[in-house]
Amino acid sequence: MTGPPDGDRRLHPLTPLLRGWAVVAAVLFFVVRNLHDLSQDITPDRVGLGLLLLVPAALVYGFLSWRFTRYRIEPDRLRLQSGVLFRRTRHLRLDRLQSVDIVRPFAARLTGLAVLRFDLAGGERDTSTLQYLTLAQAVELRDELLSRASGADPAAPRSPDQVLFSLSTGRLLASIALTLGPWASLVLIGVAFLPTLVNDSVTGLIAALPVLAGFWHTTFRRFAESYGFTVTESPDGLRISSGLVNSRHHTVPPGRVQAVRIDEPLLWRRTGWARIEINVAGKHDSTVLLPVAPRAEALELLARVLPGAAVDEVPLTPPPRRARWIAPLLWSRSRCGADGRVFVSRKGLIRRRTEVVAHAKPQSIALSQNPLTARLRLATVELHSTKGPVRVTARLRDLDEAGQMLAEQAERSRLGRRTDVPARWIADRWGPGGGTG
């Protein structure tokens, strides 16, 4: 068997085993999911015969996929080759690289391996992976690619990462206990199980299954995803690591944060805790910057992703009193304002939310009304960001004020884009203008 050409690299030799196992697991999941419909066709002999055929086929698929997958680092791109029947070559330009994440599913962690995921400018379809590498190889390759993307010498010594935040297990558990969702799920589970206790039937068990799924999502899954949450500062940006079952290490490059949301649930306010989520260019899933932290620490970290932002110093004003006809409980808590750096909107009674966007970041600005708000001469101003959990809005503003706010924010955004440095590695390569000129 011949090796790859000079300069090309292959994935880890255990890749066929893990990919084959993934195929077997997918088939077994399909069978279990449709077990009720297939129960008459499934016998022990058929299960054994199916596994006898499926396991070797899955391993052969995994081996061929590994055999024909190669990657090569070039000065300005990463070249990926894959495909068994149809060859595919893809060139990932480093100047379009948004982030490089290290993901470690449970099976990969058992074998000491990792997946390297690349997010490129251009959308969801521009996501590629290298699976699987050793953890050391994944870290080395990530650092090399990010160094090349910044125009730095990959062989140059790197300054050590600085830990900015580390979440303790005790605080994580306390934050979940001080959330209304898990307790509401427990009450609903008890109500759903009541028919089972009274009538000794499975009706309550069946009724409780959706609630149990919701309880899983709001408790254990949240605990597992936020376990060991650590934020460190590196030359490439902020690095976020977390995960109990599946661990993930992703990088938030400087200048890529588009909008920020600070959540303060009702039961957290007595302890002064807050949660931060962000919209990041090139990412379309929820990015948690902090699962739970004292508000002062949260604002300190926020100032690192939005330099110069002093959220608590921005003067906020409420809507006019006639807005109470639409939102009698919430109108006085819906406030917004701006300073020379950011636009801030705050709303919410049970869960107080503060949304922040730097003036240079909105992709568009809009003013909207419905028939009721139009009759009351009210309007909502929306500052559109990239895809993500944060939506910055100023609700129920006086129509004339909203029009003035729209014009002023458009001017702030225009001036902000002229002076904003898009990202440190782009600035290092091209200068403050971000281009080749």
DSSP, collapsed to helix, strand or coil, labels residue 76 as: coil
Per-residue pLDDT band at 426 (split at 50, 70, 90): very low
Note if the pTM is more than 0.85.
Answer: no
pLDDT of residue 21: 65
Q: Are strands 127-134 and 113-120 parallel, antiparallel or unpaired?
A: antiparallel
Angle made by CA atoms 356, 361, 366, in degrees to the nearest 5: 80
Highest mean pLDDT among 98-107, 162-171, 207-216: 162-171
Q: Is 188 helix (H, G, I), strand (E, B) or coil?
A: helix
Which residues are within 8 A (CB) of 407 and not within 5 positions of it... i.e. 6 or more apart?
Answer: none
Under a CB-based contact definition with an 8 Å cutoff, are residues 428 and 151 in contact? yes
User: What confidence score (pLDDT) does residue 259 get?
Assistant: 92
> Between residues 408 and 158, which one has the greater pLDDT?
408
